[in-house]
Amino acid sequence: MRVVLPIIILLAAAVVVGSQSLFIVDQTQYAVVTRFGEIKRPITQPGLQVKTPFVENVTRFDNRLLRIDVQTASMQDKDKQILEIDAYVRYRITDPRKFLVRLRDEFTAESRIANIVVSELRRVVADSDRTDIIGGETTTLADGTAAVKPKLTADGVDTREALTREVIRGSNQAVQSTENDFGVEIQDVRIKAADFPTSVEQSVFNRMRTERSVQAQRLRAEGEQQNNTITADVDRQVTIIRAEAERTGNQLRGEGEGRAIAIFADALEQDPEFYAFQRSLEAYKVFLAKNATLVLSSQDDLFKYLESPEPQATPTP
């Protein structure tokens, strides 16, 4: 019993000392070994590591891509219009020693980095108009409907992408400057939303309604103009068709009357007496239509057919 107890004590002491001397750095982590607050060495490679027990401590940091949701801030664009900008940042720790010295932990890093990014974002937004921030501009399609198409820079880059690139560049210059030197690199900045404040939403909606009303009136005016043009063209064509039809009708009537006169002339040449008799009958229909009383001279040519129905002989030349 006296032998077993010391062995147990030694084993317990070995376990305690071993747990204080050995530690594992995961492949998703960086580690910094400190002794009484003084940094002894950073560890950037994963694996089993050794430290002085009870004297040295280990601080671990995530070496993966970290995200910061920036608090929504009011910013002025180039036209002095207030926009509510909601964005997020992705950064990575590149030097755990500097990160520990300057920022101590990720919570402090979020606050410091977010402030720098918001400052850069405010500067870039102030030099950009709303369409650049949104990354699109309104255009009117052939059918008159409105659509949004991407707005590109002279280099063919989306304006919103170009804006965030400028923010990333300026933010990295700030966090890697001699004054700060946080030991981090900002990988990405994205604008989640760029909206008007609630207080000016109604005025914005009213302006949008006014713009749509002006557009609708313009379309109506264009439609009315097209309608008048089409109607005038149709009326002109109708007038032309009627004139041509009337001309053709007059021409046909003239030709018909000419042919009728020619036929009558031929008939007159063939039998003048019969033609005279037919014309007299037609005259009788007019004069004697309603029991009228007709007074004629006995020598009148019209009376001779009433006096004797027999045709008179044509004198021999």
Domains located in the chain, CATH noted: 4-62 (no CATH), 66-195 (3.30.479.30), 272-317 (no CATH)
User: What distance in Å separates the CA atoms of residue 33 and residue 87, rounded to the nearest whole number?
Assistant: 35
What's residue 290's pLDDT?
63
- Strongest mean pLDDT among 65-74, 289-298, 307-316: 65-74
Is the model more confident about 119 or about 288? Answer: 119
Confidence band, pLDDT 50/70/90 cuts, at residue 316: very low
Higher pLDDT, 12 or 244: 244
Task: Round to whole Å and give the CA distance between 163 and 133.
Answer: 7
The Cβ-side half-sphere exposure at 231, using a 13 Å CA radius, reads: 6
pLDDT tens string 1-47 = 566 666 666 676 666 666 678 889 999 999 999 998 899 999 999 99
**Is residue 208 over pLDDT 70?**
yes
Q: Give the three-state DSSP class for 293.
A: coil
Highest mean pLDDT among 135-144, 226-235, 265-274: 226-235
pLDDT at 273 > cutoff 90: no
% of the chain exceeding 70 in pLDDT:
80
Q: What is the pLDDT of residue 304?
A: 65
Phi-psi region of 144 (alpha: psi -120 to 50; beta: other; left: phi over 0): left
Query: Residue 119's pLDDT is what?
Result: 94
Q: Is the pLDDT of residue 63 over 90?
A: yes
Report the mean per-residue pLDDT for the chain.
83
Tokens describing residue 138: 């309104």
- Count of beta carbons in the 10 Å neighbourhood of residue 101: 14
- Percentage above 90 pLDDT, the chain: 43
Q: What is the mean pLDDT of residues 237-248?
A: 92
Residue 182: CB atoms within 10 A of its CB come to: 24
Give the whole-angstrom CA distance, residue 220 versus residue 203: 25
pLDDT at 289: 64
Of 89, 76, 80, nearest in space to 174 by CA: 89
Q: Are 61 and 30 in contact (CB under 8 A)?
A: yes
66: which residues sit within 8 A by CB, 6+ positions away?
90, 91, 92, 93, 106
172 CB burial (10 A radius; 0-12, 13-18, 19+):
middle
Among the listed residues 164, 166, 187, the one whose alpha carbon sits nearest the alpha carbon of residue 85? 164
Q: What is the pTM of this model?
A: 0.60
CA distance readout (Å), 62 to 93, 114, 213: 8, 18, 55
CB 87 within 8 A of CB 132: no
Q: What size, in residues, is the chain?
A: 317
Q: Which residues neighbour 136 within 8 Å (Cβ) at sequence distance 6 or greater?
A: 148, 149, 150, 151
Q: Which pLDDT value is given to residue 317?
A: 45
Average pLDDT over residues 145-160: 79
